[in-house]
Amino acid sequence: MSKLYTELSRVYHEMHQTLFDYAAQYALFEGLIREHGCRNVLEIGCGSGNLYPYFLESGYAYTGLDLSGEMLAIAREEHPKGRFVQGDMRDFDLNERFDAVLVTGRSFTYMTRNEDVHLALKTMGRHLERGGLLVFDNFHAGEIFTDFRTELSSVCTYDTRTYTRASRNSINGETGWTWNWHAMYTIEEAGKDTLVIEDAAVLRAFTPDEIGLFLALNGYETVKTHYDPPVMTSVAKYMDNSRL
């Protein structure tokens, strides 16, 4: 697992309060599931629980799932009344079904092998009611690779700390539209030594046709795709007949 979700979990949480628009992401996902009358929601890749308050305020029954125990510790600290459980999207069993399963925060980009994608979709299907909704975002391969950026940087301040992230990217294409991501985090705070921590991961983008085929092979029917380049959000109904 990337250091971003373990050793750097607090860094991730604090940086993304300014780098990520959680209100906008909630509005997108909630708008998509509201159209289908969903009320019982499982969020996969919930991280430190930043979307939980929005779902709570709107009256949804909410469960958050994440692979990182460190991120979940922050979620429970920030939202002690929330329901947060640890699990791998490729293999978890909550022994219940939901109206909607959401995979947020581009978490699906870590499904770098075809086997990962199939396992994740099958596991999520087991947790959906028949006709239940799966909504997940990821990167559009056409947008990422036709304008591939080898260097990116961002700076943000949280409380008394300033975070600088310098990223380097390189294409590898080993298991799909995949690339290597290497980041260097510099953490500065008055009266303390400056910290520099490196992290690395492999990420994957998808084409719409790839996503459609993966969904069809795993018992889903594509409903729509929402584009906000370079991100695409896929919406599908779970229609597997094997449980009838």
pLDDT tens-digit series, residues 203-212: 999 999 999 9
Q: Residue 124 in 3-state DSSP?
A: helix
Q: CB neighbours (10 Å) of residue 165?
A: 20
Domain check: are 123 and 155 in the same one? no
Asked whether 162 and 188 are in contact (CB, 8 A), the reply is yes
Query: Which carries the bigger pLDDT value, residue 242 or residue 14?
Result: 14
| Overall domain count for the chain | 2
Provide the pLDDT for residue 242: 60
Domain check: are 18 and 8 in the same one? yes
Domain check: are 126 and 171 in the same one? no
CATH number of the domain encompassing residue 10 = 3.40.50.150
Q: Is 244 part of a structural domain of the chain?
A: no
Q: How many CA atoms lie within 13 A of 101 on its CB side?
A: 28
Domain check: are 91 and 190 in the same one? no
Residue-number span of the structural domain to which 147 is assigned? 143-204
Query: Which carries the bigger pLDDT value, residue 9 or residue 77?
Result: 77
Residues 159-179: pLDDT tens digits? 999 999 999 999 999 999 999
Q: Is 22 part of a structural domain of the chain?
A: yes
Q: Is 11 part of a structural domain of the chain?
A: yes
Q: Measured between alpha carbons, how far is 25 from 14 in angstroms, rounded to an integer? A: 17
